[in-house]
Amino acid sequence: QVQLVESGGGLVQPGGSLRLSCAASGSIFSINGVGWYRQAPGKQRDLVAGITSGGSTNYADSVKGRFTISRDNAKNTVYLQMNSLKPEDTAVYYCNALYQKISWGQGTQVTVSS
């Protein structure tokens, strides 16, 4: 089975930037689409960005214009570039399939300080 592993989270000041990575153990193109999700404690896990195998992208309104999802075919990796970060972006970020059921990983913590 394909396994997705998140990395790149950390502590950043408001207005700063981070780039998250989602590395696939197998071919990432075995998955029809990949999305980045986030979840704060006590809150729903929401999709913030997605990319299909054909390269189409979509974003939640809350991150549109600030976040960019992309893929690197050679590295079998999907990225989430996060710019102009806000305290409201603080959450655990996960990557997973958009259209297939795959187990959730540990995620990576993103903390945007006050």
Q: What is the mean pLDDT of residues 101-107?
A: 92
- pLDDT for 2 equals 81
Q: Quick one: what percent of the chain has pLDDT higher than 90? A: 75
3-state class of 30 per DSSP?
helix
- pLDDT for 90 equals 97
pLDDT for 109 beyond 80 = yes
Query: Residues 78-100: pLDDT tens digits?
Result: 999 999 999 999 999 999 999 98
Query: Residues 8-23: pLDDT tens digits?
Result: 999 999 999 999 999 9
- pLDDT for 29 equals 61
Q: What is the mean pLDDT of residues 42-46?
A: 95
**Could you count the other beta carbons within 10 Å of the beta carbon of residue 72?**
12
Torsion sign across C-alpha atoms 42, 18, 84, 99: negative
Residue with tokens 């990557």: 95
- pLDDT for 53 equals 85
